[in-house]
Amino acid sequence: MEANIAVPNEKKPTWGGGGVKPFGASYGKMMMWFFIVSDALTFSAFLAAYGLTRFKFIDSWPIADEVFTHVPFVHGEFPMIYVAFMTFVLIASSVTMVLAVDAGHQMNKKKVTIYMLLTIIGGIIFVGSQAWEWNTFINGTYGAVKTTDGKILQFVDSNGKQIALADFVVGDRGNARVQHTKGNGLWFEDEGTISQYSIAQIISSYEANPDVQIRTELIDLDKKQKTILSREKGAEELAKTRLIVEGANLEVNEYGNTIFADFFFFITGFHGFHVFSGIIFNIIVFFNVILGTYEKRGHYEMVEKVGLYWHFVDLVWVFVFTFFYLV
């Protein structure tokens, strides 16, 4: 029993359990593990809430392959490729981290330095990729319209492939509407960015082009694809247009359910914030390694503790990857 209790003692400092090691784990390492348990529960709560919402809208949830299709510097559609690259980068940086821990056990300062540096670089590449992913998501690709009953209508060509508004909308917007700015407005008011098209213009372009069809959010559960409406039914739905949607924000997005984008921003954002703080911790430890702090201390346990955090971030990404992009 005594072995499991931290006994205050005149000679030993009590912070850190007074040198007593329950379960043979040091104070810092154990607390890092317990923090990870609580953080894991936070992330699972987010993902479980995502699951609940997805089940709630199971017949209209956006299909990931149609949302995340882009790769930097390359035109065309390559679903999954870029996010697979991001996953790979994070796993690779986990490996360099664990190699740094391993080198730390051997008190090999030079190797620890190199591996810590590689880990930091991996983390920066990941966060950069996530920023790019957000940017693509926010700017959108195709554009869609939202109807008075809150549904998103997307446009497809005769092959069922999604097309952008710019691909079929022709003519003039017809109402001479211009962006209202602070400079020319009353009371210094301005407005959000308005679309370069007008609703009437989209409707008349749709009617003029028989190749364009409308895709609704409803999923055909036998084929697991979104339903494409007939020309007549499409015109009927399009007549209810209330808003032109290009890209995504917290209120509306061109991919489908508003809450889909909300969860995307919230969960990947929270994970990205973890990666960002992980990079900061790694940088601090990296400089401590260079300065020889751990050499003087006689062990590299700090590298191990920050390593646990870093692997946890990788662990969370594995689940985010599965539930946002695969399932």
Partner 1 sequence: MAHAQSHTKRIWNVFWILSAITIVEVVLGIYKPDVLHLTSFLGTSPLNWLFIILTLAKAYGITWAFMHMEGEKTWFRRAVVWTAVFLIIYLVTLLLIEGDYLYSTLAPLVRW
**Which residues here bind partner 1, judged by CB under 8 A?**
22-25, 30, 33-34, 36-37, 40-41, 44-45, 47-49, 51-59, 65, 79-81, 84, 87-88, 91-92, 94-95, 97-99, 101-102, 105-107, 149, 151, 216, 218, 222-224, 227, 298-299, 307-308, 311-312, 314-315, 318-319, 321-322, 325-327
Q: Which two three-digit tokens encode residue 63?
A: 């299909």
Helices 269-291 and 27-56, interaxial angle, to 10°?
160
What is the rounded CA–CA span in Å between residue 14 and residue 6? 8
Residue 51: CB minimum distance to partner 1, A: 5
Identity of the residue, 24 or 183, whose beta carbon is nearer to partner 1 in the bound complex: 24
- Asked whether the beta carbons of 146 and 252 are under 8 A apart, the reply is yes
Q: Which residue's CB is nearer to partner 1, number 34 or number 287?
A: 34
Strand partners, 248: 253
Q: Return the number of the residue (246 or 274) whose C-beta is nearest partner 1.
A: 274
CB of 177 to partner 1, least distance (A): 31
Least separation in angstroms between CB 278 and partner 1: 14
What residues does 241 pair with on adjacent strands?
Answer: 147
| Angle separating helix axes 301-320 and 109-139, nearest 10 degrees | 30
| Number of residues that make up the chain | 327
CB of 284 to partner 1, least distance (A): 20
Closer CB to partner 1, 89 or 212, in the complex: 89
Q: How far is the CB of 327 from partner 1 (least distance, A)?
A: 5
User: From the CB of 128, what's the least distance to partner 1, in Å?
Assistant: 20
Which of 271/311 has CB closer to partner 1? 311
Find the angle CA(214)-CA(138)-CA(40) to the nearest 5 degrees: 110
Query: Among 257, 277, 10, which Cα is nearest to 144's?
Result: 257
Q: Can you tell me the distance from the alpha carbon of 323 to that of 50, in angstroms, rounded to the nearest whole number?
A: 9
Whether the CB-CB separation of 70 and 141 falls below 8 Å is answered with: yes
Give the shortest CB-230-to-partner 1 separation in angstroms. Answer: 13
Q: Which C-beta is closer to partner 1: that of 55 or that of 188?
A: 55
Instruction: Determine the residue type at 190.
Output: D
Q: Are 121 and 282 in contact (CB under 8 A)?
A: no
What values do phi and psi take at 152, rounded to 5? -95, 130
Nearer to partner 1, 6 or 40 (CB): 40
| The pair of three-digit structure tokens given for residue 78, joined into one six-digit string | 């390559």
Shortest Cβ 49–partner 1 spacing (Å): 7
- Nearest Cα residue to 324 out of 137, 192, 172: 137
Nearer Cβ to partner 1 (86/169):
86
